Chains A and B, each alone.
Chain A
């Protein structure tokens, strides 16, 4: 595409096209958007994060990532749409303008680039990273079981051939370690939102233990208002609650780690499939999915802005 206005948000794109989109967006909005490389994937691909900032230094910030499970294509596609939406709405929409006047937004669109490239070239159903495990012919670890939060507990597998293999040790996956290092170095992230598909859920800690999170009441309230905002557009029904209560025990997961870092507003989305397509959501549903999800993201970001801690 020659500009982000001619970019087609209603189709799925390759890694190269998404990375190309990022460069065009930065070139079009150099005052608002910058591209950071936070590391390299196992196979050596650069891992990029878009930073949306209107100034200041190490401001309180919001982290959003999509595509950590590579086959969940609607999430990376929604991430592209979010990036464009932020540049369109800053200065136009009062909510987003207020957020960006006080906070930064970090958006990692392709959180698992090796896996994503593999879904385009070899196996559309690939979920994990592409790291090799010594002593096993099976490849990859589940990047949503590799975080240092309940790592090794029930709710993940130690078998490298399973889809929920936790990896050799916490942060063994380069794709996870690069986020851990970035978040720790930044030190002022106030909300952490990791976006998956599918099953129409909005989840908060904990996943690795049944204990109720100290901030559970507030997180539940925020989740309720977010899913209400989401369903106001097309009526898409989301359930919400803690990971372990709403689906199952999941150890070493992303937002249990971010919550353990003191990032109170830690949420995981499981976007739509509307009960029919699972991971193979038709491209015609990308924009509607992104639009409804954006309303929920704004509800969470606005709450974060209005409840500094």
Chain B
């Protein structure tokens, strides 16, 4: 089963078209293995991307270098998945 320990979900706020295009450049870098939960669309609409831990630093440096704002929406994806599994398992044992 895929493990998502250390994966983070960043919520990126691209304020203009140039920044949206910059984020689209990220989308094309397959080696980063980014998973866009909400793809780059229009300025102002949130862009959510799951970032595997090996890529986190590179992505954050890229965004900061281009002055693109972001917040960390999910600190550790696997932690939320563990909670989800526990909740399902707890129900089933009950």
Contact = CB atoms under 8 A, between A and B. Distances in A.
Interface of A: 8, 11-13, 121-125, 161, 163, 198-199, 247-248, 275-280, 282-283
B4 A125 contact: yes
A11 B36 contact: no
A2 to B, nearest CB: 14
B77 A280 contact: yes
B30 interface: yes
Given A125-B50, A247-B45, A278-B9, A283 B4 contact: no
Contacts of A277: 73-74, 80
B54 to A, nearest CB: 16
B37 interface: yes
Which 9 A-B pairs give the minimum distances between C-beta atoms? A123-B2, A248-B41, A11-B91, A280-B80, A247-B41, A278-B37, A283-B87, A8-B91, A12-B88
Interface of B: 1-2, 4, 9, 30, 35-42, 45-46, 48, 50, 73-74, 77, 80-81, 83-84, 87-88, 91
A121 B2 CA distance: 9
A278 B35 contact: no
A123 B81 contact: no
Helix, strand, loop or mixed for chain B's interface?
A: mixed
Contact of B84 (A8, A125, A283): A283
Contacts of A13: 88
Nearest to B45: A247
Contacts of B35: 125, 163
A251 to B, nearest CB: 14
A163 B50 CA distance: 13
Contact of B2 (A12, A124, A199): A124
A282 B36 contact: no
Contact of B73 (A11, A247, A276, A282): A276
Given A163-B36, A276-B73, A282-B83, A123 B41 contact: no
B8 to A, nearest CB: 12
Given A121-B1, A278-B9, A278-B74, 11 more contacts: A8-B91, A122-B1, A123-B1, A124-B84, A248-B41, A275-B46, A276-B73, A277-B80, A278-B38, A280-B77, A283-B84
Nearest to A119: B2
Contacts of A247: 41-42, 45
A57 to B, nearest CB: 41
Contacts of A282: 83-84, 87
A280 B82 CA distance: 11
Contacts of B81: 124, 280
